[in-house]
Amino acid sequence: MSQPIIPRIGIATDVHAFDTDLDRPLMLACLHWPGEIGLVGHSDADVAAHVACDALFSAAGIGDLGTHFGTGRPEFDGASGERLLREAVRLTAEAGYTIGNIAIQIIGQKPRFGARAAEACQVMSDIVGAPVAVSATTTDHLGFTGRNEGLAAIATALVYSS
Ligand SMILES: Nc1ccn([C@@H]2O[C@H](COP(=O)(O)O)[C@@H](O)[C@H]2O)c(=O)n1
Ligand SMILES: C[C@@]1(CO)OP(=O)(O)OP(=O)(O)OC[C@H]1O
């Protein structure tokens, strides 16, 4: 008798502060956001791409962002969210898992995400090779995201044994 396929869920959170260098470009959900202030990080600090990677690692049970892209890995200094996400997809497959979907929620006042949400979903889905849904919410001006000090993101991912 064939074994049932039991999917595995992963969860992740990430936070990055807005840069005090007002010229740093904002990369968010694998898109460039002209006119918006960028986030601080060793990489391009794409908080949405990072949570997607971390949720995949969590679902596959293969560690976390620091395990694979830690600051002890200088080859990832300045890496784009897209590069990290492609590598996370490769590592997930290498661990024997197919990706079902990823859901990401960005938390912050700015940028207003809605106008480019469909574009972000398409770009990230193309990179991952499975549906990626990206949405956004504010905290009604409460907390560090409410004060525009940075962005947070949370994500879940579902994978199943290939
Ligand atoms: N950075 C953001 C945050 C929110 N949105 C959109 O606004 C809707 C309402 O957000 P509340 O936090 O006020 O409930 C939300 O559902 C998003 O559609 C956005 O585009 N960008
Ligand atoms: C991506 C890495 C490595 O370049 O750096 P950051 O861009 O600072 O991102 P973060 O989400 O803080 O942690 C993961 C790091 O390993």
Query: Is the shortest distance between the CB of 129 and ligand 2 below 6 Å?
Result: no
Q: Helix (H, G, I), strand (E, B), or coil: what is residue 138?
A: coil
Whole-number average pLDDT of the chain: 96
- Tens of pLDDT, residue by residue over 95-109, are 999 999 999 999 999
pLDDT(1) > 80:
no
Q: What is the model's pTM?
A: 0.95
pLDDT at 72 (0 to 100): 85
pLDDT(30) > 80:
yes
pLDDT at 75 (0 to 100): 86
Structure tokens at 87: 């590598």
- Tens of pLDDT, residue by residue over 59-102, are 999 999 999 998 888 888 889 999 999 999 999 999 999 999 99
pLDDT at 74 (0 to 100): 85
Domain residue spans of the chain: 8-161
pLDDT at 77 (0 to 100): 85
Q: Helix (H, G, I), strand (E, B), or coil: what is residue 54?
A: helix
Query: Is the shortest distance between the CB of 71 and ligand 2 below 6 Å?
Result: yes
pLDDT at 3 (0 to 100): 80
Give the pLDDT band (50/70/90) at residue 114.
very high
With a CB cutoff of 8 Å and minimum separation 6, the contacts of 128 are: 52, 85, 89, 99, 102
Pocket test for ligand 2, best of 24, 26, 39, 50 (most atoms within 8 A of CB): 50
CATH of domain 8-161: 3.30.1330.50
pLDDT at 154 (0 to 100): 98
Query: What is the arithmetic mean of pLDDT over 112-125?
Result: 98
Q: What is the rounded CA–CA span in Å between residue 21 and residue 15?
A: 18
